[in-house]
Amino acid sequence: MQYGVGRLYFEKADGSPDFQAYENYARSVVAAETGAVKLPRQATFFGTMNANDQATELSATYLIQPLYDLFKGKKSFGKEHNEDTDLSNNWQYNLFAKEQATKANLKELLGGAQTPAMLFTATHGMEFSQDDPRQLPHQGALMCQDWPGPEKHKGKISQDFYFAGDDLSHDAQLLGSVVFCFACYGAGTPLYDDFARQAFKKREAITPRPFVAQLPSRLLSHPNGGALAVIGHVERAWPYSFLWSGQGKNKLIQQTGTFENLLERLFKNYPIGFATERFNERYGELATELTSVLDDLEFGAQFSPQDVVGLWTAHNDARDYIVLGDPAIRLAVAQTGENSTRPMLDTVTVSATVVTPAPTPTEAKVDSSSVDENKGALKHAFSVAEKSPIARINDADWAKTPDKVKQLLQELASLLK
């Protein structure tokens, strides 16, 4: 709640750490931080609206289109934004919505010729059962407009309809980009169903082990240079984060302020950990409201079960947004008058390093060459305390000190005389 947190975990197919992926990501961040990456100020909104599909109809109508209209300058910012906010002239905004939100176009936006500095997507995220071999590599992959919808298509969904991590081309140029994926499982999958109460059922495991989605992992660790951060959702994503029920039957209130605040801060060069703070605040607000309702229920207050479950679902939904990557990164864009550049990094191959555990206290030995080399540093450290290592231990503790530790401290004390 109180910190701008980023998470990072790269793994191979067998579950072991992928050291090469860590190396690739670290080099991308260094390239951006040292000014080697200066992208054009371009932001693109990508949103599907599949036929006869209520979920994507809502996200296209109440999230993607309003955000594009707002930043394009067609609408004014709300009161929570700074009065001097004017981002329409400093940035170029593009929209790929409905029939334009195809897999071919998404490929161009994720490493192709149209890759922007900031990409915001709102689509379905693929979901597979835990016994399906596609769960680990394709869970959270982004469904595109190519899918004809639930009425026209039945049965197994082909990868022709969605964009997964293994759809990224080997020559993709992603260096410096930031991606927001509003999609179920877009960032990862937890061990247990996080919304069991929403269906009034018991909590069950939905995967053999929790994991980070492969698409953001591949985006961040591409060997040519990867994205700097991916913001996504763990578990299923619900419309509560941009829609709320108003007074009156079936009345919906659009509330995109959390997303507006995030994008505005990113476009103003804030670090991503701070830019996402509004998501933390919203989760805190919902947690406070839910706690109050649960307390009232315990003392006899009457609430509709559906309303309580809805609030609980919104609370869990808000909690599940995460940043994958370094929370200190900023958008790597060119300043006014600067030429833009997105270099391709040379591949540096690394191998796994076996880390030898440090010796236990009973195995500790004094290496005279090491002590001589660091004598100045040790002497300075103890001079700051104005006491020798032995003088800092009282008689009672000294009596309990093991003989080998006493010997080590005595030798250090004699060296520093």
- The three-state DSSP-derived secondary structure of 209-229 is CCEECHHHHHHHCCCCCCCCE
How far is residue 163's CA from residue 110's CA, in Å, rounded to a whole number? Answer: 10
Torsion of CA 230, 233, 234, 235, to 10 degrees: -140
Residue at token pair 């176009």 = 105
Do residues 210 and 190 touch, judged by C-beta distance below 8 A? yes
- Residue (of 227, 316, 276) closest to 31 by Cα position: 227
Do residues 93 and 43 touch, judged by C-beta distance below 8 A? yes
Spell out the per-residue pLDDT of the chain, length 417, in tens.
Answer: 888 899 999 999 888 999 999 999 999 999 999 999 999 999 999 999 999 999 999 999 999 999 999 999 855 555 555 545 556 568 999 999 999 999 999 999 999 999 999 999 999 999 999 999 999 999 999 999 999 999 999 889 999 999 999 999 999 999 999 999 999 999 999 999 888 766 667 788 999 999 999 999 999 999 999 999 999 999 999 999 999 876 555 678 899 999 999 999 999 999 999 999 999 999 999 999 999 999 998 888 888 888 888 899 999 999 999 999 999 999 999 988 899 999 999 878 887 655 555 555 544 444 444 444 444 444 443 443 344 545 555 566 667 677 766 676 676 666 555
Do residues 332 and 269 touch, judged by C-beta distance below 8 A? no
Q: Which domains does the chain have, with CATH numbers?
A: 19-325 (3.40.50.1460), 361-415 (no CATH)
CA dist list (Å): 195 to 184, 226, 234: 12, 32, 11
- Two tokens, residue 411: 């030798």
Say what the pLDDT of residue 386 is: 42
Q: State how beta strands 252-254 and 243-245 pair.
A: antiparallel
What is this structure's pTM? 0.81
Residues 6 or more apart from 342 whose CB is under 8 A from it? 37, 38, 39, 115, 173, 175, 176, 225
Radius of gyration of the chain (CA): 27
Q: Which residues pair with 324 in a beta bridge?
A: 7, 230
How far is residue 141's CA from residue 417's CA, in Å, rounded to a whole number? Answer: 65
Positive or negative: CA dihedral 30, 31, 35, 37: negative
How far is residue 285's CA from residue 293's CA, in Å, rounded to a whole number? Answer: 13
Residue at token pair 């990508």 = 46
Do residues 291 and 23 touch, judged by C-beta distance below 8 A? no
Output the DSSP codes for 15-82.
Answer: S-B-HHHHHHHHHHHHHHHTT--BB-SEEEEEE---TT-HHHHHHIIIIIHHHHHHHHTSS---TTS-
Do residues 309 and 199 touch, judged by C-beta distance below 8 A? no
- Residue (of 195, 211, 410, 404) closest to 318 by Cα position: 195
Q: State how beta strands 252-254 and 188-189 pair.
A: unpaired
Say what the pLDDT of residue 88 is: 59
CA dist list (Å): 248 to 83, 245, 314: 33, 8, 20
SS3 262: helix
How far is residue 305's CA from residue 308's CA, in Å, rounded to a whole number? Answer: 5
Q: Which element (helix H / strand E) includes 266?
A: helix 257-267
